Amino acid sequence: MVFSGEKLDPAATRRLREFPHETPLMSCVVDPTGRWCFAGGRSRRVYVTGLDTGTTRSLEDHESWVVVATRWSTPGVPVKSPASELTPPPPSESRDLQVAATRSTASAQTPREKSLVVTGDLVGRLICWDTLGDWPVVRWSIETGHGTLRSVAISGDGRLVATGGGDGVVRLWSLADGKSIRELAGHTCPVFSTAFHPDGVHLLSGDRGEQKIRQWDYRAGREVREFDAKDLSNYKGGTDINYGGVRDLAFSPDGDIVFCCGRDSYARPGLVLQFDWETGQQVRKQVSTFTNSIFHHLVFHPQGFYLAAGVGAQTGEIWFWKPDADEKLASLKVSGPAYGIDLHPDGRHILVAQMGGPRTYGDQGTVGLYEMPPAG
């Protein structure tokens, strides 16, 4: 992430614009160059929006709903921040011309420089996109074998991709070419979340029904221990699949604290749990103030706070928290249930995947672009 270090004010976060989509959205990620937002949802399409132009085009390489996305790049990849005003492309510009230009441009890039986005769909297809050129192109595409794909994470060194899904197995793949590396079996129900520890040795995976987080030594291929996330709601059948389990996992930048999110098993508000990495014990519980809600995704900011994307009854909020505080720093209402969130590589902008429309879970979607201004 490229970040100037200028102190920001989360409480003054404002919406810059929204990008409408034809389908409810469940995931979003900004590519490492900062030029595009990749969004997916209840469609087999990946929607790619130019953050400067506002133009959205679709990539139709998936086979089902696109529900997970993440990114990785080598250090030093240039980052472009969103402009304050949109600059639409010339009307004559076509996607076919862009794709042709990208294929020739991408092949001329320095091999050591990489800018990648990985997306996954419900039936298990995982696709890696190269975003260095003028338009994203497929680097590789594989079938993961999960049946239902629910989670994807990339190791800090960019060597491995971890996936989890309906078969309860965590699978490791090479980010370079998509080849299978290893399987980690131990969960007895679907895996909903995965995260690599900064130490380059360990991986966490959280499931839907056991309320367990398993720690793996992924180089040795063995389970090390479990974290007990019993305060999170588990899956009891029916629509609880939208609420139960460990929905997301994250680490503090130093790796000392483990974070997981979901829904409280009793009062039903959104919930974030913290665990001490050394002892494995739960050390804090941070709870939202709106009931019948859930936190779906977490993302850390370099200035020491984290953001949680939340969903209530046809509402959405983004919460800002310091890890060591019970009270939130700030919260921000968004225009629809927030199922995905990502921090722009510039550290100032936030992208939120939102559902919207007249039905309970919406028949449309939007990506909201928000900005945290400098403090003071």
Average pLDDT over residues 173-195: 95
- pLDDT greater at residue 239 or residue 246: 246
* CATH (residue range 10-371): 2.130.10.10
What H or E segment, with its residue span, contains residue 101?
helix 95-107
The answer on pLDDT for 293 being more than 70 is: yes
- The burial of 258, by beta-carbon neighbours within 10 Å (0-12 exposed, 13-18 middle, 19 or more buried), is given as buried
Can you tell me the distance from the alpha carbon of 162 to that of 174, in angstroms, rounded to the nearest whole number?
A: 9
- Residue 242 confidence (pLDDT): 59
The answer on pLDDT for 365 being more than 80 is: yes
Extents of the domains making up the chain:
10-371
Average pLDDT over residues 344-351: 96
Q: Are strands 191-196 and 270-276 parallel, antiparallel or unpaired?
A: unpaired
- Residue 93 confidence (pLDDT): 45
> Do residues 173 and 153 touch, judged by C-beta distance below 8 A?
no
Average pLDDT over residues 210-236: 90
Q: What is the Rg, in whole angstroms, of the alpha carbon atoms belonging to the chain?
A: 19
Average pLDDT over residues 228-237: 78
Token reading at 10:
């989360």
Q: Which amino acid is at 58?
A: S
> Do residues 191 and 207 touch, judged by C-beta distance below 8 A?
yes
Please enumerate, as own/partner, the contacts of 321-328 that have beta carbons within 8 Å and a separation of 24 or more: 321/272, 321/286, 323/252, 323/257, 323/259, 323/274, 323/284, 324/284, 326/284, 326/286, 328/286
The residue among 27, 301, 42 whose CA lies nearest residue 151 is 27
- Residue 369 confidence (pLDDT): 96
Can you tell me the distance from the alpha carbon of 301 to that of 253, in angstroms, rounded to the nearest whole number?
A: 9
What H or E segment, with its residue span, contains residue 102?
helix 95-107
